Amino acid sequence: MAEQNLKLPDLDKTPNEPAKSGTNVEPPIKPDVNTIGTKEMVIAFGGVLVAAIIFFFIKNAVSKMLVASHRKSPRSADMAGWALFCVLLIAAITAALAILDSAKFLTLAYLIPLGLALLLSLIMFVVALLSKR
């Protein structure tokens, strides 16, 4: 008995078919880790909504400060406030998308429109601040 040749299977090769036993056992399905659940989307939407409310109060404070301290016209101060609101909100939306799934949402298809909207809002903010009226 000591002279029996026992050959173990190679560790590098995996069998093509699972060993057939009396029961039909399927391999477990691995969940896709890159999917975004509804819980994460609701949390991100709630965060953006809370940020929008805070940014609205900031917009009002900036508008009042520009009228009172810097003697801007109420119209240009309000325009600067709304432009600042848009800048902050677009930045918050971009941050929420990046937190959700950066590999999916930080591609050019998402970054170009968000970047253009952010740039346009920033230009509107500067123009409203520099207006003479």
The label of the residue with tokens 């090769």 reads 13
Residue at 4 is within a domain: no
pLDDT digits (tens, 9 = 90+) for 32-45: 566 888 999 999 99
> How many distinct structural domains can be found in the chain?
1
pLDDT digits (tens, 9 = 90+) for 69-95: 988 999 999 999 999 999 999 999 999
Q: Count of CB atoms within 10 A of residue 95's CB?
A: 14
Residue at 6 is within a domain: no
Residue at 50 is within a domain: yes
Q: Would you state the pLDDT for residue 132? A: 77
Residue at 57 is within a domain: yes
Q: Would you state the pLDDT for residue 41? A: 93
Residue at 49 is within a domain: yes
Which residue would you say has higher pLDDT here, 4 or 69? 69
Considering the chain, what is the average pLDDT of its residues?
86
Domain carrying residue 122: 38-130
Residue 23 pLDDT class (50, 70, 90 cuts): low
Q: Would you state the pLDDT for residue 113? A: 96
Q: Is 121 exposed, middle or buried (0-12, 13-18, 19+ CB in 10 A)?
A: buried
Residue at 5 is within a domain: no
**Helices (H), ranges, the chain:** 38-68, 74-100, 102-105, 108-130
Residue at 77 is within a domain: yes
Residue at 85 is within a domain: yes
Average pLDDT on 40-56 reads 97
Q: Would you state the pLDDT for residue 97? A: 93
